[in-house]
Amino acid sequence: MQAPTLRDVYEAKKTIAPYLARTPLHYSAGLSEVLQAQVYLKHDEYLPLGAFKARGGINLLAHLSPEERAQGVITASTGNHGQSIAYACRLFGVRALITLPEKANPLKVAALRSLGAELIFHGANFDQAKAHCERLAVEEGYRYVHPANEPLLIAGVATQTLEVIEDLPEVEAIFVPLGGGSGVSGACIVAKALDPRIRVVAVQSEAAPAGYLSWKRGELVEAKMETFAEGVATGAGYELPQSILRQHLDDFVLVSDDQIRYAIGLLVEKAHTLAEAAGAAALAGALKCGEALRGKKVSIAVSGANITLEQLVEAMKVYRGW
C-alpha cells in the first residue's frame, strides 16, 4: 500500500465535487469563549449521510475497474463507513454488502437499508463483523474494502482538511477523531504538505485505545473495545494509517466516554450543533488540552451527527450533571 500524496487529495477533490457540496467552517463564539481560543467547527455532519466518510466512499468507487464493480463490494462497518460505501455504490450502480455488529446503531442500520445495501449482522463488535466480512470476501469473490487500509479512502476523507486550510490558512491546530485512522492520516498528509507548522491532533476514547497504543508503541496493537462511541470503536491499529501517523502526527489525546458525552452537550448548547459520539470526540480532546490552546486558531472536526435519542439523553445527563 502506498500512502496517498497531496496530489492524490487534489484529484480526490475533483472526483468528489460533482457529488458532495463543500462543507462550511464556522467560527463558534460560544466554544471560543469556553476554550479561550479562536475555535472553528468543520461541519461534515452537513454531508448527506451526516458524516465525513462519504468523501472516501465516492473517491474509492469512482476509481474501481469495471471488473471490480461487477464483483460487488463488501465491507465491515459500525455504520458511517458502511453508509459511505453504500451511498457510493448506489451512485455507481454497484452491489453493496455491509457486515455490521449485531447491535449496530439503529439509525445507521436504517440509513444503510434506505441506501439499498445488503446487510449482514455478525458478532458483538466491529472486529468480529470485520473478520466475518473478510471471510465472505474470499469465499464469494467480492471486492473487499478495508475500512482504513485503502489509499483512495484516505485521499477522499483528506479533502476535509484541505477545505479547512483553504478557508483558514492561518489555522494552528486541527483536531480530528480517530477510529480506524483514515481521517487523521488524511489530515496529516494535507497539513504537513501545505504548512508543517500546523499541529494535527488525534482523539480517541480511552475505552478503545488501540489506535493510540499502536501510535505510541510504533507497532500494531490490539486493545479493549468498550466505548459507546461506535465510530471510534476499533480493537486494533491499521497498517496504512499508522504508518502515516508515525511520520506526521503531532499529538494524540485519549478522552473518557463521559468527556465525549459532555462534549456532545456542549456542542448543542454553545454551537447549536448535533453530533454523534465520534463526531464530538475531537471537541472532547480540545477541551482536555485546555490551556495549551489559549489564543490559538483551532479547527475541530464535527465528523458525524448520527446519534440515537437514547445516546443524546445520556449525554445531556452528563453535561447537566443530572
Residues serving a catalytic function are: 53, 303
CA distance 191 to 244: 12
Question: CA-CA distance, 60 to 146, in Å (whole number)?
Answer: 11
C-alpha count within 13 angstroms, C-beta hemisphere, residue 225: 21
Q: What is the 3-state secondary structure (H, E, C) of 121-155?
A: ECCCCHHHHHHHHHHHHHHHCCEEECCCCCHHHHH
Beta strands per DSSP E along the chain: 25-27, 38-43, 73-76, 96-100, 118-121, 143-145, 173-177, 199-205, 251-255, 297-302
Residue with cell 480517541: 204
